[in-house]
Amino acid sequence: MADVEIYYWPTCPYCQRAMKLLDSKGVKYNGHDMTDREDERQALGSRTGGHVSMPQIFINGEHVGGCDDLHDLDGQGKLDTLLAA
């Protein structure tokens, strides 16, 4: 199973939607609650090409984007392949 990381805010509906998709696929992921961690959120931009909105999702160390990007990968049938790697 893939190594999945998600940086999120607990009250963010997009974060919840992304985690719900991962949960529905039985994915165990490492979640990073970014509440009150503004310096770390800004530093995250170096891993995401400047993106600091939440959520930010990584699969096997590769940045895949946010909630919409994750759902787009799923809609294209590519998410399951990434998760199986």
Instruction: Note whether residue 14 is domain-resident.
Output: yes
Residue 61 pLDDT more than 90? yes
Domain presence at residue 13: yes
Give the mean pLDDT of 53-60.
Answer: 97
Q: Which of 59, 61, 62 is nearest to 79 (CA)?
A: 59
Q: Is residue 68 part of a domain?
A: no
Alpha-carbon span 15 to 9, nearest angstrom? 7
**Could you tell me if residue 18 is inside a domain?**
yes
Which of 63, 68, 33, 36 shows the shortest CA–CA distance to 51?
63
- Centroid of chain to Cα 74: 13
7 vs 42, which has greater pLDDT?
Answer: 7
Answer whether residue 28 is part of any domain. yes
Domain-embedded: residue 62: no
Can you give the residue range of the structural domain that contains 25?
7-39
Q: Which pLDDT score is estimated for 1?
A: 81
User: What's the whole-model pTM score?
Assistant: 0.94
Domains held by the chain: number: 1
Each residue's pLDDT tens digit, 15-48:
999 999 999 999 999 999 999 999 999 999 999 9
In a domain, 20, yes or no: yes
